[in-house]
């Protein structure tokens, strides 16, 4: 699990004050740095949680308001692109949507009819997903435009361009990219602080308590398997953090 995974439900006040209260100037420089780094982690948590909630809310709203796929994007058996796994229910029927990424590739690889010109043996694996010969066997095939499928390709490209434009406009309206970037920025800063803490050795109880508080914060957000929770090693970790910090976030879970 990433070090920046932080639970939004942990009562910060139970741990942050203990860090601030145990940072006497008499401690060695290394232990003072541990306490400072741990305090900074907890200082960042409110903004990190708020950014996480804002980003999640934006993407939930994006999903709720996602533009409807036009009928033109419903996959047909002779389409020039593969189908996707996206299913759409309409008028009591289920349709699969054409792969939007492959529709974009149609702009560079329009539908072609291929005629064999080489004598070497070939198989269907000679062709890529867009129906073009792979480089190693391209000398075996000569292509010409497929006018019938090109008409369908033009229809797909127009429909996909419209849908992508509507989707991008909604992403911009909800500021999804900006909110996600803020969340990731704060997460990266917390991750860097945790990595610094991991590299420092604590020599005094106050520094140990500070590291324990940060460690407990991460444990709180882990997805716990019942067998892991019950193992002696895990219980020992819980006991040590309890002893060092006087608080253990998982105690009431």
**Helix (H) or strand (E) run with residue 214 in it:** helix 205-221
The per-residue pLDDT for 208 is: 87
What per-residue confidence (pLDDT) applies to 211? 85
What pLDDT score was predicted for residue 252?
A: 31
Phi, psi of 112 (to 5 degrees): -130, 155
Between CA 190 and CA 186 the distance in angstroms is 6
Q: Characterise 141 by phi-psi region: left (phi > 0), alpha (psi -120 to 50), beta (else).
A: beta
pLDDT in the model for residue 246: 45
Show the low-confidence residues of the chain (pLDDT under 50): 1-23, 222-224, 246, 248-253
Q: Write down the pTM of the prediction.
A: 0.72
The predicted pLDDT at position 167 comes to 98
Task: Measure the N-to-C terminal CA separation of the chain; round to a whole number of Å.
Answer: 19
């Amino acid at each position: 699990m990433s070090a920046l995974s932080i639970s939004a439900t942990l009562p910060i006040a139970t741990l942050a004050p203990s860090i601030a209260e145990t940072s006497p100037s008499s401690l060695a420089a290394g232990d003072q740095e541990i306490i400072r780094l741990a305090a900074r982690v907890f200082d960042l948590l409110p903004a990190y949680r708020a950014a996480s909630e804002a980003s999640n809310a934006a993407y939930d709203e994006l999903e709720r308001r996602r533009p409807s796929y036009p009928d033109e994007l419903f996959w047909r058996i002779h389409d020039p692109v593969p189908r996707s796994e996206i299913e759409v229910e309409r008028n009591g029927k289920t349709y699969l949507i054409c792969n939007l990424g492959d529709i974009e590739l149609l702009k560079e690889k329009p539908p072609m009819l291929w005629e064999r010109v080489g004598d070497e043996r070939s198989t269907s694996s000679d062709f890529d997903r867009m129906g073009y010969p792979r480089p190693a066997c391209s000398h075996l095939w000569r292509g010409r435009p497929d006018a019938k499928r090109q008409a369908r390709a033009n229809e797909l490209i127009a429909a996909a361009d419209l849908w992508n434009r509507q989707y991008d406009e909604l992403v911009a309206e909800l500021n999804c990219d900006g909110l996600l970037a803020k969340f990731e920025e704060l997460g990266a800063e917390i991750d860097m602080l945790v990595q610094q803490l991991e590299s420092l050795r604590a020599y005094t109880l106050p520094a140990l308590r500070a590291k324990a508080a940060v460690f407990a914060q991460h444990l709180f957000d882990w997805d716990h398997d019942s067998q892991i929770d019950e193992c002696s090693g895990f219980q020992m970790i819980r006991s040590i953090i309890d002893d060092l910090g006087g608080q253990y976030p998982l105690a009431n879970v």
